[in-house]
Amino acid sequence: MRKSIQKSVAICLLGTGMFMGTPGAVVAAGTAKPAITAADLARLPDPSTVGIRVKAGDALPKLMAHSAVLIEAKTGKVIYEREKDTRRYPASTTKIMTLIVALEHSKPDEIVTVGPRAVGAEGSSLNLAEGDKIPMKELLMGMMMRSGNDATIAVAEHVAGSMTAFAKMMNDKAQEIGATDTHFVNSHGLPDDNHYTTAHDLALITAYGFTVPGYEEIVSTDRAVFNWYNDTSKEVISENKLLWQYEGGNGGKTGYTQKAGRCVVSTAKRDGIQLVAVVLDSDFMWTDAYSMLDYGFSKVEPLPILKRGEVAGTVDVSTGAKGEIQAVAARDSVIGYEAGAKPKIEKKLDMPGSIDAPVKKGDVVGKMICYADGKVVDRVDLLATEDVAYHSWWMTIKEWWARLTKGLF
């Protein structure tokens, strides 16, 4: 077998400790107690010591980030913010957009051939060698887990032909998402005066990522074994400690350069609520990220929109042995809302008037478009509940004739 990929099933929840870029002690998961305690916060320096002026009414006054934001991913609702629209260098959190563009413009089993420009790239690396041939999905996993700058170059050149062309794709996607105060010039995030974003834009980009097939699987994988990895163990372990330290942690990306400072995008899901926390330029990035996530989960409540297997409608089947079948939701759909601000929910079927046989159970036959206060917050696939064989009118006539003549001869 060429490869073996596994996701660790052991998850630990951070209990107490200071996190100056490296989290402290962990305890067993299983409860939703806050990861950061009042005692942890008491040991932090005052934000003013690093030039931060905390505004009156700041819900998290001990946060050490120069810019930060917390959003509910589906609605985009801002739950907490500090200087969320200030331009800053994103460092390796750039790779979130690199992953999105690559997933939308390639197939997981495409083979990427590593070119000379990727070899020996500055900064963090997967130690790729010229001529290495690696499946796209594996390369993207390695890129996100080990922050391989060389991998981002190989991906960019494979997808777009050049770094310049790939950066344009990144910028086009940013505009499409609504991250209008973002500009990329490369796929890895090494410093450039024209390479910038904001905490809010980065949150929007990350939230969008969860709508892209394959994204969550990659960003939530904490370890994998690859035969092509130039290490005796062949094992790649993620730098994103949230995956095993924070209950419900399911993705994100770390980053650091001298210009950017310490940065992290941290994401977690509980009771179906997906939160995205962005911390830019903080020496206590893990403490800040976990504090924001704790705050968010204490403020929001789950609002179910659809349940997996729920019947959403029926669809006619043309030229089928059965004329109509039910369509059911492929997965749960849940949003989070703050107490006292429950949104108005609407659901609209997006399904053709009829589909052609044959149909297999589990085929996607439509979508349910979910709205909260008039804004699209989810698109859920609707699946066929049964097989329907092809059955033409001519076959029906032949069967009718056979039954008619059976008693005559």
Q: Point out the residues that are catalytic.
A: 92, 95, 147
Residue type at 378 in one-letter notation: D
CA–CA distances in Å: residue 208 to residues 104, 216, 275, 339, 343: 12, 11, 12, 25, 20
Structure tokens at 399: 């069967």
Interacting residues of 61 by C-beta distance below 8 A, sequence separation 6+:
47, 54
- H helices of 273-392, where? 285-299
For residue 253, say whether it is annotated as part of any ligand binding site.
yes
Strand runs labelled E in 249-310: 249-257, 261-270, 273-280, 300-306
Task: Supply the DSSP symbol for 361.
Answer: T
Query: With contact defined as beta carbons under 8 Å apart, do 288 and 65 qualify?
Result: yes
Separation CA 66–CA 253 (nearest Å):
18
| φ, ψ for residue 142, nearest 5 deg | -60, -40
Helix, strand or coil, per DSSP, at residue 332: coil
The position carrying tokens 């050149």 is 157
Binding residues for substrate: 253
